[in-house]
Structures are given as structure tokens and as C-alpha cells.
Amino acid sequence: MKNRLKVGDKASLTKVISEEDVRQFAGISNDTNPIHLDDEFAAQSIFGQRIAHGMLVASLFSGLIGMEVPGKGTIYLGQDLKFKAPVPIGTRVTATVEVIKVREDKPIATLRTVCVNDAGEVLIDGEAVVRVP
Amino acid sequence: MKNRLKVGDKASLTKVISEEDVRQFAGISNDTNPIHLDDEFAAQSIFGQRIAHGMLVASLFSGLIGMEVPGKGTIYLGQDLKFKAPVPIGTRVTATVEVIKVREDKPIATLRTVCVNDAGEVLIDGEAVVRVP
């Protein structure tokens, strides 16, 4: 028996963004920007090292929403993302989604979606809008 | 010599979203929702078949922005996404990014970001905000 979705419901996952993740994501997205793939180029950039694709890190929200909160049968309607800080390869990222609004008139909910590193620094902030089952 | 970024500058790419893309993306994102991976489950869903992760399809904007328009050295500040229609596996998707605003006071630009299928149906619509080099 599933409880009705309510404000405050949340789910998290923690993942180290690996070299292999970044390489595979470059293939899927056609994003072979050297800032993600080329050590020498990245060392000369303002980041000083290679960083993961922002959209790769943001993809962690997708599974939390579709499998945890609200969970199975959820339809992803929208996602707003602010990339707040670069994510060097090897960063341990914790993604959290938390229900902040449930509409009374329609089966639509809004979730805050945040990724932080182990120091608690916000890497990505944003909101998702979903249709709940 | 690079011309200054201006409203109307745009870039596109076309890609068939493959079985392999979806499988790899599931691994990277930890999103193993059966709607993406399980034929039987998906057949019983409102989509009637497996669909690609919305964030996978949206990832096509990342390379266009970082490598084409505005191009190398661009910093991705934000991305707003509306998932307008499901994307069955095997769909040929054309992603386009187009500059719609260039700030005078700061090196910040806004791009409209759209994915369509071969029929011209909008799959994803949204906007990106970037810091230009």
C-alpha cells in the first residue's frame, strides 16, 4: 500500500562520478568537449582540471524521481537546473529530491533537486515537475 | 578570428537514440526504471513501449553549447527543460540550440534549446543560460 505523496517526502543517492561515466556520457551525448576529456586542455582552463558534464551529474535526479519519490509510473514533465559549481572527475556526489509542492487540483508535484559534494557544497540546484501516478 | 556571439546564432545535431545509449545511460545515472529497460513492463505502461530517459535526450544540448554555439570555453550556468513527448528507443532526434539573448552588461547569453523528431514534433523544449568566453 502506497501512501499519498506529501510535501517533505524525499530520496537520496550517493555516487562517485568516474572516468568511465564521463567517457560513456561523452559518447551518448556527442559532447566530446576537451574540458571533460583532455587533461592538458583542462589544466589550462579556469577549472584547472577535467570536470564532469553538468548534465551527467543532473541525470542522478532522473532515477530518484522515477524509482523512489514519487516512484514507479511517474512522468517527468520538466526539470530546471542551475549549475553552481564544477564537478571534478572522482567527486562523490549526493543527489536529493524532495517534494515541495503537491497540487490539489491535478496529479502534479514539484520537487527540489539538489546535488552536493562531501563538503556539502551545492553543485547543482533546481526543481523538477512531475505527474504522479 | 571568432565573431562575437549574436542573437540567431545556432547549431544542430541529429542522432538516433539507440538501445545501447539507453543501457549505458541507465548505468551512469543509476536510473534503471523499467519504463526504459523492460519491454514487458513498458508495453503495459501508458507509452506502450520502452522510452529513452528524458535527460539522455536533453544531454544533446550539452555538446552543442560547449563545442558549437557559443563553443569552446563556454560555461554552462543553467538549463530549463520541458519534456513534451515521450521518445521511443530508435527515434531520430534533432537537437538545436539558438541564441535568443545576449546581455550587454555581462558575458551571459540565453539559448533556446529544442529537440524534435523527424515529423517535427517537439520532444523537449527549454532554455540554457551560459557564460560566454
Q: What is the DSSP string of A24-87?
A: HHHHHHT---HHHH-HHHHHTSTTSS-B--HHHHHTHHHHHHHHTSS-TT-EEEEEEEEE-S--
In 10 A of CB B18, how many CB atoms? 14
**Taking Cα atoms as reference points, which of B4, B80, B28 lies closest to residue A126?**
B80
Here the CATH number for the domain that contains residue A68 is 3.10.129.10
pLDDT 10s digits, B37-81: 999 999 999 999 999 999 999 999 999 999 999 998 899 999 999
Q: Give the structural domain span for B101.
A: 10-131
Domain membership flag for residue A40: yes
Residue at A70 is within a domain = yes
> A108: which 3 cell numbers?
502534479
Beta strands in B55-91, from DSSP E residues, in sequence order: 75-83
Q: How far is CA A63 from CA A6, A126, B87, B129, in A?
A: 19, 16, 17, 25
Are B108 and B129 a contacting pair, CB within 8 Å? yes
Name which of B32, B34, B59 is nearest A29 (Cβ-Cβ): B59
Residue A28 lies in a domain: yes
Residue A79 domain-assigned (yes or no) = yes
Residue range B84-101, pLDDT digits in tens: 999 999 999 999 999 999
C-alpha dihedral sign at B50, A94, B63, B100: positive
Does any CB of chain A come closer than 8 Å to the CB of residue B108?
no
Residue pLDDT, tens place only, A30-49: 999 999 999 999 999 999 99
The number of folded domains in chain A is 1
Q: Closest to A29 (Cβ–Cβ): which among B60, B75, B78?
A: B60
* pLDDT tens profile A15-25: 999 999 999 99
pLDDT at A129 > cutoff 70: yes
Whole-angstrom distance, CA of residue A114 vs CA of residue A126: 6
Helices A19-29, B19-29: inter-axial angle, 10-degree rounding = 140
Q: Per-residue pLDDT averaged across A48-61, rounded?
A: 97
Residues 66-85 on A with a CB inside 8 Å of B are 66-67, 72-73, 75-83
- Chain A residues touching B25 at Cβ < 8 A: 25, 28, 59
Assigned domain for B5 exists: no
Give the span between the Cα atoms of B48 and A37, in whole angstroms: 38
Q: Is residue B2 part of a domain?
A: no
A113 CB neighbour count, 10 Å cutoff: 24
CA distance B7 to chain A (A): 22
Flag whether residue B31 sits within 8 Å of chain A, measured between CB atoms. Answer: yes
pLDDT band for position A3 (50/70/90)? low
